[in-house]
Amino acid sequence: MVPPAISAEIIWIVSALAVAGVILRPWRWPEAIWAVAGAAALVLPGLLPWTDALRAVGQGTDVYLFLIGMMLLADLARQEGLFDWLAALATRQACGSAGRLFALVYLVGILVTTFLSNDATAVVLTPAVYAAARAAKAEPLPYLLVCAFIANAASFVLPISNPANLVIFGSHMPPLRHWLAQFALPSVLAIAATYAALRWTQRAALRNAIATEVALPRLPPGGGLAAAGIVATAFVLLVASALDRPLGLPTFLAGGLTVATVLLHRRAAPWALLRGISWSVLPLVAGLFVLVAAVGQTGVLRAVADALQSAADRSATDGAWIAGLVSAFACNLMNNLPVGLIAGSFADGGALPAPVTGALLIGIDLGPNLSVTGSLATILWLVALRREGAHVGTWQFLRLGLIVMPPALVLALAGLLLAAP
């Protein structure tokens, strides 16, 4: 039997190597391979009991259902021409101004993130924005970056804007009016700061003219049904959030019902649609859950929770700054989904002051704008980019994230403390 001290060291080494593989993608192998390999390297030698690994995988059931529902909607909308139609419409509204198109994409990103979640922005909006840039004959990168950064910057406007919000608060989710009182100002500051930083960093590309004469294609009936399904899904998510219900099953059912309706209308088989979905995202998420479960056995998470509680007991303000900054940077080492689970365990029971719990949420939602693997939404964005033949490198994103994320995080945390009673 491996001594506990050595076992903990091995767990940390294996987990660190797995996370590094997810971030760097050696030999361009998919992220899921590294996450699953790391999980297997912990379970097979017995460093993590297989029963604990299965329990960790099971914790992600709601996330898996949510992602499947969103990916079904996104691929359906792409196949039915909805994205091409929306792209042409947006480009015509830009009237030849790259800056106006950038602002329009940013506004749409805020709305999609707010009412459909940050994962939906990555999955649904990214291909539409790529199509818009192609229709405008513009360099697509500035507009595609909007999809990644606004997905995290606007992800605490409402509880449903990020599934991690529901994980963190759990059964202690505040009523909507209290949520808005706490997070409205931080959201405005984060969204504004992110826009200013992105617009400044992309200023050279946005000086170029874009196409003005763009034909508006006919939207086929299937595209209209897909659009109606996306709107209906947003309504379902709002209702589920108001009733304090998990979002995964409603999203899965809404996506599945929309797909079934369109396929029945066209009398088509589902196989082409199913082949277009990036199923590798699901084992990636499962692997991350297992890695976090293993790290939790080392006792370090309990020590972090105790230190955070001690800081909050001394000063809620100091505790909030520590919680926000530490959680923000931890997301870029572990991904915000498992960090959200950890934070949820810290906040469970409602013992932490409201500003500290709020700061944890802001750090977990906004912190991932630093790196490509900080959030599941950004990983989904990368997958969507690859499908379109585009590519953003790890260091390219990090250099931009170092400019965009820290000011937005500091302003959002300051706004949270200003709004605190």
CA distances from 35 to 67, 99, 283, 286, 365 (A): 18, 39, 8, 8, 21
Does some domain include residue 148?
A: yes
Does some domain include residue 8?
A: no
In the prediction, which pLDDT does 1 show? 47
Does some domain include residue 17?
A: no
In the prediction, which pLDDT does 228 show? 93
Q: What angle do CA 45, 48, 50 make, to 5 degrees?
A: 90
Does some domain include residue 61?
A: yes
Q: In this predicted model, what pLDDT tens digit does every residue of 260-278 receive, in sequence order?
A: 999 998 888 898 888 878 7
pTM score of the predicted model: 0.83
Does some domain include residue 220?
A: yes
Return the higher-pLDDT residue of 238 and 167.
238
CA dihedral 147, 149, 154, 156 (to 10 degrees): 120
Does some domain include residue 4?
A: no
Q: In this predicted model, what pLDDT tens digit does every residue of 131-143 receive, in sequence order?
A: 888 888 888 999 9
Return the higher-pLDDT residue of 178 and 365.
365
Contact indicator for 23, 43 with CB cutoff of 8 Å: no
For 380, the enclosing helix (H) or strand (E) is helix 376-387
User: CB-side exposure of 277: number of CA atoms within 13 Å?
Assistant: 20
Mean pLDDT, the chain, integer: 86
Does some domain include residue 6?
A: no
List for the chain the helix, strand, coil content (%; round to 5): 80, 0, 20
Asked if pLDDT for residue 150 goes beyond 90, the answer is yes
Q: In this predicted model, what pLDDT tens digit does every residue of 252-262 receive, in sequence order?
A: 999 999 999 99
The domain total for the chain is: 1
Whole domain around residue 405: which residue ranges? 51-419
Distance, in Å, from the CA atom of 388 to the CA atom of 147, rounded to the nearest integer, reads 14
Does some domain include residue 151?
A: yes
